[in-house]
Amino acid sequence: MNRTRIALTLAVAAVLAVLVYLQFRAWKEFDWALMFAQLRRADPLRLLAAVALIYSVYFLRALRWMILLRPVRAVPARRLLAPTLIGFTGLALLGRPGELIRPYLIARREGLTLSSQIAVWAVERIFDVGAVAACLVAVVFSGALATIPFFQRSPAALERLNQFAYLMVAGVLAGAWLALATRRHGAALAAALEKRLAPLSPRIAHHVGHRVQAFGEGLNTIHDLASFLQITGLSLLIWMAIALAYVQVTHAYAELADITVAHVMLLMVSSMAGSILQLPAVGGGSQLAIIKVLEAVFAVKPELAVGCGIVLWLVTFMAVAPVGLLLAHREHVSLRKAEEESHVED
């Protein structure tokens, strides 16, 4: 781990420590015994159903990557499933630095360049954000959130949420337009950027130009309308499965049985936003964001909010780790080594 990464990790840890301290200080009394009692009463069948839904998501992600690889190479989804599970295990245990493990393993296994698979990963991220934005806008337009007492008391908060949903859609459209422009004019755009940046730093200019061109080439993975529709449908299905997993976890607690699929969109978006501040194998930001939304929006008691937030993180982020580690051991993959090599090669 280089000095920059150590500094960033320490900074994130400091910010999370302050946030945790402020959160628990705001609660005059926190009953740890009650939290663990509620955890023991949670319905195990619903929690197992949530884990099963999350594992189905990894298969759907492998299927989506298979479609994105079609113009380059015909690879069955089953061959992509192990790298997907190992890659998400690396992300769970190593944090954001482990993000490149999945494209690195796929590139190595299939004899492809890492830059081409990073481009596939970037396209995947665009579709993920687009799917979440579409789900959030649908929930906002449905009026389901207006029935929550918090938004009834604070119409301004609902209006801000509406604006955020529109911003997400605008961001997705801007990203799609930029991706389309890069796909059509990638070489010209890379050359123009490299020429502009060269006076500042030839090394950075060359790196940026190479990245833009590789990304443009990677976007050729969507080669026809049928592929686009398949990827869009799978992306929506992935996030609906994740939403249903959230519902199963919340409904495992009898006190949260009235939370609907529409309601968990708030928890999903808050978890995504909070995951920006994550520590390897610990998380932090995701759990804090979910806890805050449960407490502030759904008027959930602190003990229940903390317990549910931790379980949601374990199910959605960490449940992949046991299988991923077994597969990594079987295929002689060192997560730390793969993470380091992927960054060096990148």
DSSP code for 254: G
Which range of 49-53, 149-153, 202-206, 308-312 scores highest in mean pLDDT? It is: 49-53
Q: How far is CA 145 from CA 165, 256, 260, 269, 270, in A?
A: 13, 16, 10, 14, 15
Q: Count CB-CB contacts under 10 A for residue 301.
A: 17
Query: Is pLDDT larger for residue 15 or for residue 158?
Result: 158
- Top-confidence residue, 97 or 35: 35
Across 115-142, average pLDDT: 83
What is the amino acid identity at position 230? Q
More confident residue, 117 or 16: 117
- Please, which pLDDT band fits residue 324 given cuts at 50, 70 and 90? very high
Which of 68-82, 261-275, 280-294, 329-343 is modeled with the greatest confidence?
Answer: 68-82
CA distance 99 to 222: 22
pTM, 2 dp: 0.83
Q: What pLDDT is attached to residue 279?
A: 57
For residue 346, the model assigns a pLDDT of 59
Q: In the chain, what is the straight-line distance between the N-terminal and C-terminal CA atoms, in Å?
A: 15
In this prediction, residues 179-190 reach a mean pLDDT of 75
Helix (H) or strand (E) holding 278: strand 278-279
Task: Please give the average per-residue pLDDT across 225-250, as a whole number.
Answer: 92
Residues 53-84, buried b or exposed e (16+ Cβ, 10 A)? bbebbbbbbbbbbbbbbeebeebebeebbbbb
pLDDT of 167: 82
Helix boundaries (H) for the chain = 3-26, 32-41, 44-69, 77-94, 101-110, 114-142, 149-153, 155-197, 202-218, 225-251, 261-274, 285-296, 302-313, 321-330, 335-345
Least confident of 5-9, 185-189, 250-254: 5-9
The residue among 91, 117, 111, 85 whose CA lies nearest residue 328 is 85
Please report the pLDDT score of residue 250 as a whole number: 93
